[in-house]
């Protein structure tokens, strides 16, 4: 009975963490196909954007998938403020986010779409 309770608790907690579950469900191959919109900024080593302020664009390759999903969700929900990222994230589905996160999490040296 304790084992069943523990399993139910784990399932309940993971249901409350959709970013983690979505990241695990991401398809790296599908993410690669969807990553062209990312390459224009994240695909240039050392790139800095000038809008809205000068900002060093972060490397995505090797980031933890759950972190990437949470970041994209935060842009979509307008909890993060970068206007270009908000616009991009607004058009992404949960599956798109999971796929992109899985793609970028697959290699620590990957900084861009190839």
What's the structural domain count of the chain? 1
In a domain? residue 38: yes
Q: Which residues does residue 49 pair with via DSSP β-bridges, in sequence order?
A: 55
In a domain? residue 64: yes
pLDDT, tens digit (0-9, with 9 covering 90-100), for 1-19: 555 444 544 444 444 444 4
SS3 content of the chain, % helix, strand, coil (to 5): 60, 5, 40
Closest to 11 measured CA to CA, from 21, 19, 1, 23: 21
Instruction: Find the CATH number of the domain harbouring 62.
Output: 1.10.760.10
pTM: 0.72
Q: What pLDDT is attached to residue 6?
A: 43
In a domain? residue 113: no
Radius of gyration in angstroms for the set of CA atoms belonging to the chain, rounded to a whole number: 16
DSSP one-letter code for 58:
P
| Residue 86 burial (10 A CB sphere; 0-12, 13-18, 19+) | middle
């Amino acid at each position: 009975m304790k084992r069943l309770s523990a399993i139910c608790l784990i399932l309940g907690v993971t249901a409350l963490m959709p970013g983690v579950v979505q990241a695990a469900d991401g398809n790296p191959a599908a993410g690669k196909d969807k990553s062209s919109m990312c390459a224009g900024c994240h695909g240039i080593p050392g790139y800095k954007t000038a809008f809205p302020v000068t900002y060093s664009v972060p490397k995505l390759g090797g980031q933890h998938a759950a972190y990437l999903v949470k970041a994209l969700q935060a842009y979509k929900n307008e909890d993060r403020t970068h206007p270009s990222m908000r616009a991009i994230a607004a058009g992404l589905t949960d599956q798109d986010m999971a796929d992109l996160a899985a793609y970028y999490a697959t290699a620590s040296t990957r900084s861009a779409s190839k």
